[in-house]
Amino acid sequence: MAQRTAVAVRTRVGGQKQPVAKRPRLARAGGARRGDATRQVILDAAEQCLAAGDFDGVSLRTIGEAAGVDIALVNYHFGSKESLVEEVTGRRAREVHDARVLALEEARHAAGTAPPDVEAVVTAFLQPWLKRISSGDAGWQNYNRLLCRLTMMPKYLPLVSELLDPTALHFINALRAALPEASPESIYWGYMFLLGAVVQIMAGTGRLEQLSRGLCTTDDINSAMREIVPFVCHGLRALERTATEARG
């Protein structure tokens, strides 16, 4: 109907029929929407397959079958497994980065002229991520498992660095401001200890539930935040004290 109306208006104004005036743009728009939807289906399937299976053993054909599309479409949209992995990891990494940076900016605003304290910095780092992986969204849970695996695979270090270093440097600088007496070495070690604690929560192996016989669960974000923030912050402050004492 929209196409016929557009043609009729053009005929009355110009006196000549131009039936193709609107059709190419409509066709491209519809094709683009279908293409975007197909890409998202493939990305979701790849996320699930790479998180659950033998990472190196997951092929483009396997991902295509999980997505319900021909492997030719997977190749058309992504070209290679490496490109697909980059797209899968990048789309959610950008969202988490933006949420963390926003939380840190809010902490800075709340702190006024002073830098945010270490508790505010650690909370801004943890909460956006833990909130997403504990939301019950299967996509975030798959991404969480995938990211845990990637960070342990040396050959993907360049990709992990490209995706995560901007966030890391943001928060390392914030920790330096919150702990001005800490040595640079202590800040870097402290950040890695923070990541190590987070990965234990993120991994979702069931180890915590097994050890505590169900008393603790990793999907309980409120309990996780209540326990991990003071644990990490006391450790970071201890590193600052150690550096101060070492300088005499």
Over range 37-60, report the average pLDDT. 89
Beta-carbon count within 10 A of 141 CB: 20
What is the overall mean pLDDT for the chain?
84
Over range 82-105, report the average pLDDT. 94
Listed range (19-23, 61-65, 91-95, 213-217) with the worst mean pLDDT: 19-23
- CATH number, domain 81-248, options 3.30.420.40, 1.10.357.10, 1.10.10.10, 1.10.230.10: 1.10.357.10
Q: Where in the chain is the domain with CATH 1.10.357.10?
A: 81-248
Q: Encode burial over 198-229: b for 16+ CB neighbours within 10 A, e otherwise.
A: beebbbbeeebeeeeeeeeebeebeebbeebb
Nearest 5 degrees, angle CA 32-CA 36-CA 39? Answer: 140
Position 44 pLDDT exceeds 50: yes
Could you tell me which residue, 207 or 190, shows the higher pLDDT? 190
Give the Cα separation of 122 and 39 in Å (integer). Answer: 35
Phi, psi (deg, nearest 5) at residue 214:
85, -5
Q: What is the pTM of this model?
A: 0.79
Which residues are CB-contacts of 40 (< 8 A; sequence separation ≥ 6)? none
Position 123 pLDDT exceeds 90: yes
Most confident stretch, 112-121, 157-166, 198-207, 216-225 = 112-121
Q: Extract the tokens encoding 43.
A: 């990305």
Position 10 pLDDT exceeds 90: no
Phi-psi region of 162 (alpha: psi -120 to 50; beta: other; left: phi over 0): alpha
Listed range (31-40, 91-100, 236-245) with the worst mean pLDDT: 31-40
Q: Where in the chain is the domain with CATH 1.10.10.60?
A: 1-79
Give the Cα separation of 90 and 137 in Å (integer). Answer: 18
pLDDT class of 32 with cuts at 50, 70, 90: low
Domain 1-79 has CATH 1.10.10.60: yes
Over range 214-225, report the average pLDDT. 87
Which residues are CB-contacts of 83 (< 8 A; sequence separation ≥ 6)? none
Could you tell me which residue, 15 or 126, shows the higher pLDDT? 126
pLDDT at 74: 93
Instruction: Name the residue with tokens 């909130």.
Output: 131
Position 41 pLDDT exceeds 80: yes
Give the Cα separation of 5 and 137 in Å (integer). Answer: 43
Q: Per this entry, what is the length of the chain? A: 248
Position 30 pLDDT exceeds 90: no
pLDDT at 19: 41
Three-class HEC string of 72-103: HHHHHHHCCHHHHHHHHHHHHHHHHHHHHHHH
Nearest to 232 by CA among 104, 97, 126, 116: 126
Give the Cα separation of 78 and 162 in Å (integer). Answer: 19
